[in-house]
Structure 1
């Protein structure tokens, strides 16, 4: 059982960062499951493709444009953080478990997550992506600060998602986050590199 606290210390947040934002991986399923019909009992691409992991960026990954208040409409990129400040970037990867029950449970939860994100203070930008070959989804979120990210982590919608992630997502899901002063690091590829590095260090 995951221990929850509304005021985690800095060291505690670092120790449980991966587990704490695991529920955010459900956002990646939106672009996958929205186009799926019944898949009860069918094999997923993950069964035949062991290279489908968080640390390997899918060759056919299709990403939606970045969206959010921090995106420059002229370039489609995230504006640099204010001078002297940095962003916290979170990235997730996951493959949904097969079955109609997963779809039904997911639909119940994702609406609440979408509504939470739409009005979440401190969210600078968001991006969703999917891979047909792996049946996987990725998210990328840009936050004004680590504190802003954890305010979302501890929201009711996300806490519910944390409780359901093992039920809905295959066990090779991955999450990571990092701080940066460079808007150039706001990429799915950077998230995959960090997931690969963290997996290699375990």
Structure 2
């Protein structure tokens, strides 16, 4: 399930980008799976607790701060968009399907490609990844200079390659949403959780 706030694109392109944007959740899940494979002993739970859902902020959510060219290095805060404009913000939530080592290998392969693409993607203002050890879930928050910049990433090689893998690798409860923001105060993971909650049950 996702919100559709941008109307400049054709309906066919939006339908494709809806599936493609969902692939960005794999970036956060790559962090989760890396932790699962580390020496820390952290493991993705066999079944997430009932309170684990896109519209519920995980008590143990571990998130790095926003990072990117739009973040002031002195304050760590997101710089506001140019006067009279707004940012495009995308947020994702997902839980990896339980599987064998081949599934994990596929996750990490896609995660690496998306990570490499993001490192040089024009128009990316900032990004934040989060993961919950107890839920085995991952979240992303990405800030883009414009809707067009966001969709340029959606249609990038890494994302196009990941489109078909989303349903294979993620539980059907994954959620994708995006919105425009002229102010930076509400661009947080907590705000994205509230927005996802307002969407209702993604599994319906």
TM range (shorter): 0.7 to 0.9
Structure 1 unmatched runs, 5+: 1-7
* TM-score, scaled relative to structure 2: 0.85
Equivalence for 1:188: 189
Question: What is the distance in 1 between the residues matched to 2:145 and 2:46?
Answer: 34
CA distance in 2, matches of 1:16, 1:196: 24
Q: Is the 8 A contact 1:17 1:176 kept in 2?
A: no
Contact 2:48-2:136 within 8 A present in 1 as well? no
The root-mean-square deviation of aligned C-alpha atoms, in Å, is: 2.2
Instruction: For residues 120-176 of structure 1, give each alpha carbon's deviation from its aligned partner in whole angstroms, at most 9, with x where no partner exists.
Output: 010000110111111111010000011100000011110111110111111111111
Higher helix share: 1
Cα shift readout 1:52-97 (whole Å, capped 9, x = no counterpart): 1111111111111111000011221110111101000001111112
Change (3 A) 1:89 1:194: same
Distance 1:56 1:12 in 2: 32
Structure 1 stretches (4+) deviating beyond 4 angstroms? 10-18
Answer whether contact 2:25 2:93 (CA < 8 A) is retained. Answer: yes
- Residue 168 of structure 1: aligned partner: 169
Contact 1:95 1:169 in 2 (8 A): yes
Partner Cα distance (2:46, 2:193) in 1: 17
Name the counterpart of 2:80: 80
Greater shift, 14-23 or 117-126, is seen at 14-23
1:172-199 deviations in Å (ceiling 9; x for gaps): 1111100010111210111111111112
Flag the 1:48–1:83 CA change in 2: closer, same or farther, 3 A: closer
Segments of structure 2 that go 5 or more residues without pairing to the other structure are 1-7
Deviation of 1:17 (Å): 5.8
Summarize deviations over 1:18-73 as a string: whole Å, max 9, x none: 434111111111210111139xxxx9547251221111111111111111000011
